[in-house]
Structures are given as structure tokens and as C-alpha cells.
Amino acid sequence: MSTKAKTDPLDNLLDVMGKMTSTLGHICFFGLRRINLKDLVLWLKLGTAISCLMILTLGPENHLNQALRFLDSDGSNSVISLVLKIPAGIQFGLLIVIPLVLSLVVLGLSAFMEQGKLQKALNKVGLKSALGKEPEIKRVTKTGDLRKKVTVETHGIGLGSFEAKRDSLQAAFRMRVESIESANDLGQVEIYLCAKELPKMVQYADLYKYVTDPYSIIIGQSSKGPVIQSLLSLPHMLISGATGGGKSVFFRSSMLSLLKSSPHIQLYLLDMKRGVEVKEFSELPNVKTAKNKTEAISMLDTLLKEMHRRYDILENAGEKLVDPVRDNLDIIVIGIDEAAVLFSKSSDVEGAREKISELARLGRAAGFHIIPATQKPVKDAIDTDTLDQMNGRMTFRMLSSAASTAATGGGAAKKLPAIKGRAIWSHGADEIEVQTPFINDKFLKAELEVIKTEFKQGKRQNFEELLTVGKPVFKKNNTAFDSK
């Protein structure tokens, strides 16, 4: 005969109930952690619903019970009879607790399940401490569009052991492990995962087909698909990032998309690297280039004059914003590569910083859009007033946290992988990782040739001639230019 003691069914039931309560508590805890301002609306609605129920329930006549009695007038429904036996205070308590728990369950369930799934995957890898304990996932935090951070309690397992299992972790999580770092709490490690990899290279032509509106810039490929931005709603865009990240390539691709998509546009391109990045553009009848400081200053002077002329036009017409078609005025784009050479505090000549700042502050209404590219978006490189106007920001990889913070307001640009053309695009509240379009010189030349031919054949026409850039207006006593 078996000597095994019979387990009491009540014990079993209590055991199961205990486990269920603990799981429910856990899910609610995840739900609580997810509550943020965005969920505030949900909580307000819930609060209102509870107040309504309170009025119904605890009114002088206790409306809920009256309604229940009405529904079950002969007392045959056992559930209703049971509810009616519960004192009104407890009924009310349940009415608050049940929706509260339910809403926390709804909020926390997906995070709870995700953590469970990741924990199972982590267990598969077979990491164990000397005492046979498995690492335990404490938190999963979304750190970007594609990325999450998994914080793990190591139970004494060293960072090196996690590193050694990197491949297995990748296979178990079915995600790329970007890095494994020790957390502030030295008993924990942080595993950075990337869900889906963006392509390492996207061709310009493959994205241009998504351009449908005039005055468009191709931003790049994001995890959610191609991103195209209207110049008119930008209105200005800053391109920044460490050398070799892809600023100039993006600058050129942006200028090409603008030229291709826009019927009435003039480009004024300033490249302080002796014009190498804008050379191909210079043959177009609607592009003017400046390849050194002297040319750049006189170009800025001319543009300022034009901006004020346009303000006069707007004022006379009683309008607020240039409309190319209504006013027969072309949209003007001022593109500046290596902007710091021209605008940095140390090399500021003839108030270039002030000129660009004025154009950036007042330009929009006059149909002026400014697109500077620079390595570091700091006040030493470009005037803070100008930086403040740069609503659109394309930030390639930065090498320091300080530069990343200056560009994106956080460390996102420093954390970018070392892939050429990879950047953070931010406009308004949106911030997404993109692979910017690649364009080679041969393709660019061929595309520009097509536009040139269109002008020759009269298929394209601007409203106005390009501005005539005169001699720079030097201030008296300035020696910076005399030697040039």
C-alpha cells in the first residue's frame, strides 16, 4: 500500500489561489509601472466611471440594489441574491477594486508576458551561478524605436560570462545583442537588444519613388518605412555628426530631392571646403554656389537684402507668408556645408553669425529655408539663436555624450551603431532612427543633367532670375578680408 499522504483538496485549492493572486499582483505591478502621463486620460475616465457608480450605489435609496431587485423580482437568481446580501459599503469597495485591478491587468499584461518570454529565453542559455542560481530579469525598458534594455539580476554571475554567451543570448532572444554592460547596481547587468536591423545601405533612387509632394526631402528608411519631409513645414534643418558619418552625402541628396521635386526653387549653396561638395550643382540655372568665405559673405548680404525686399512685398500685399504661386516668388534654400568654418566664434568675420541668425529668425515668412551641416551643434560653432530655429535635426553618430546631447537633447546619437549614413531624425516631438539615402557622384551628375535639360527645353521655369551676388560689403577697419 502506498504510504504517501493524501493531499487535502482544500490545501490544493489554497495553493492554486495563492499562486494566482501572486501572478495577478505581479501583472498589476507591471501595470502600475506603465502608468505615465499618457495614461492619465484613461485614469480620469476610470475615476469618472467610479464616481458615477458611487452615486448610483450609495445614494439614499441604493440604486444598484434597487435595480438588482427589479431584475430579479422573485429572488430566483442566486448570484443577485448573493450580491444583495453583501453590505453596501463592501459592494462599493468591490466596485472600485475590480475595475482598478482590471485596468492594471490590461496595462501590465503585455509587459508581464514579454518579461516572462525573455526570462524563458535567458534560462535556455544555461547561465548559472556557483550556487546553481539562474540570472533573473528585473526590468525590460524600451530605449528606442527598435531597441530595448534588459536589466538582469546576476546572482553573482560575472559580466564576462554574459559576454561569452553573447551568440547564445542573441539566438535565444531572437534579437541582435548590441552591448552588455554592468549596471549602476553592480549586482546587475544591462543587455541592450535591437529588434530589427535597418538596412546598412539604402539607395537614393529606391526612396525617391515615395516622394509625391513638391518641396520634399528624403529623410531615409526607418523601421516603419520610408520617411519623406516637406521643406515648407520644417522650416529649417540642421545636419550634424562626427566626420565621416554621412553629413555631406545627406546634404547633397537633400539638395537633389528639393531640386527634383520643386517647381519653383532657388538654391544658394555655401561650401567652405572650397566648394567640392557642391561643384556638380553649380551648372544649374537655379543654383548659385559660394566656395570661400569672401563669396559666402557677399552671398549672405545679397540674401538678406532679398529677404527684406520680400518682407516689403508681403507688407504691401497684407500677407504673412510667401506663397510661391500667388506671389510669383521662388522658394529659396540656403544650404551650408561645413558651416562652423563660416560661423564659428573664432573665425567669425564680417558678422557672418549675425547674418545667418537673422536669416534663420525671419526667413520663413519670406520663403527662405536654411540647411546647415556641421560637426558639432554647439554655440561656439553656430550662434544659439540660429540653432534654436533648427526644428528639423538630422544627427549622425556623435563621439561624445556632450555633442550628442547638444544635437538631440540626449545620448541617442552617441549610441548609434558605427554605420555610415545611420542617423537620428528629429522633428517636433518625433525622434526616429533612419538609414539616410546613399547617392554616388555619377548618379547625382546624371540626375542634375536631366534637370538642366528640362530648363533648356523650357519644361521648367523659375519665377525669377537668380540673385546677383555683388561684392561683399565690408565694414571699415576690417582686416580679415584685406589679405584675401
Q: Which residues lie near ligand ADP (CB under 6 A)? A: 201, 241, 243-249, 396, 420-421, 436-438
Compare residues 236 and 247 and give the one whose CB is closer to Mg ion. 247
Report in angstroms how near the CB of residue 247 gets to Mg ion at its nearest. 5
**293, containing H or E segment:** helix 293-317
Compare residues 287 and 398 and give the one whose CB is closer to ligand ADP. 398
Phi, psi (rounded to 5 degrees) for 181: -130, 155
Residues within window 52-91 making contact with Mg ion, judged by CB under 5 A: none
Compare residues 235 and 437 and give the one whose CB is closer to ligand ADP. 437
Strand partners, 394: 239, 425
**Contact present, 270 and 407 (Cβ < 8 Å):** no
Percent composition of the chain: helix, strand, coil (DSSP 3-state, to 5): 45, 20, 35
Compare residues 290 and 434 and give the one whose CB is closer to ligand ADP. 434
**DSSP reduced 3-state for 228:** strand
Strand 202-203 relative to strand 422-427: parallel, antiparallel, unpaired?
unpaired
- How far, in Å, CA of 344 to CA of 353, rounded? 8
Strand 237-240 relative to strand 368-374: parallel, antiparallel, unpaired?
parallel
What is the identity of the amino acid at 339? A
Maximum distance among all Cα pairs of the chain, rounded to whole angstroms: 114
**Contact present, 341 and 272 (Cβ < 8 Å):** yes
Q: Which does 246 bind (CB under 5 to 8 A by kind): ligand ADP, Mg ion, none?
A: ligand ADP
Compare residues 149 and 247 and give the one whose CB is closer to Mg ion. 247
Contact region with Mg ion (CB under 5 A), list: 35-43, 141-149, 158-166, 242-250 = 242-250
Report in angstroms how near the CB of residue 375 gets to ligand ADP at its nearest. 8
What is the identity of the amino acid at 478? N
Per DSSP, 135 falls in state P
248 binds Mg ion (CB under 5 A): yes
Strand partners, 147: 194
Report in angstroms how near the CB of residue 336 gets to ligand ADP at its nearest. 13
Compare residues 247 and 364 and give the one whose CB is closer to Mg ion. 247
- Using CB under 5 A as the binding criterion, the count of chain residues that bind Mg ion stands at 2
Compare residues 137 and 219 and give the one whose CB is closer to ligand ADP. 219
Contact region with Mg ion (CB under 5 A), list: 8-16, 136-144, 248-256, 395-403 = 248-256
Q: Which does 457 bind (CB under 5 to 8 A by kind): ligand ADP, Mg ion, none?
A: none
Q: Which residue has the cell 554621412?
A: 246
Q: Which does 438 bind (CB under 5 to 8 A by kind): Mg ion, ligand ADP, none?
A: ligand ADP
375 binds Mg ion (CB under 5 A): no
Q: Which residues bind Mg ion (CB under 5 A)?
A: 247-248
